[in-house]
Amino acid sequence: MQIEHWHADQDGPLSELALRHKLERRGYRVTRLVYSPGMFFPAHDHAEDKIAAVFSGRFRVTMQDRESVLEAGDLVVVPKHVVHTAEVVGEEPVVSLDGVR
């Protein structure tokens, strides 16, 4: 599972716009999504390569027998046709910038 963390010294201060630009510079079309506490996405895949970047909240992703909890500034690369699950962790909604290409 490919996870990247926000590095303020390289990426500048974390903001929703800066996170969006980071994905767009990689050629992704970005959509802002908000997931409620308790939301769970069962095993599924996508027909396109995807990046899920967390702006706020905590988001657990399981893919290829690995699990990770993403927090503000973290992103996970989800290659097309790779089965994964995701769920909101805790009582705070997750604000996610989802990029596809």
CATH number at residue 75: 2.60.120.10
Structure-block tokens of residue 63: 């893919």
Domain hosting residue 71, numbered range: 2-100
Instruction: Supply the pLDDT for residue 32.
Output: 98
Backbone angles phi, psi at 61, to 5 degrees: -120, 135
45 touches 63 (CB < 8 A) = no
Three-class secondary structure of residue 82 per DSSP: coil
45 touches 82 (CB < 8 A) = yes
Which residue, chain included where needed, has tokens 């997931």? 35
CA separation, residue 83 to residues 14, 26, 56, 58 (Å): 29, 22, 24, 20
The number of distinct structural domains making up the chain is 1
**Positions in the chain whose pLDDT score sits under 70:** none
Instruction: Supply the pLDDT for residue 27.
Output: 94
- Amino acid in the structure at residue 41: F
Instruction: Supply the pLDDT for residue 74.
Output: 97
Q: How far apart are CA 100 and CA 10, in angstroms?
A: 24
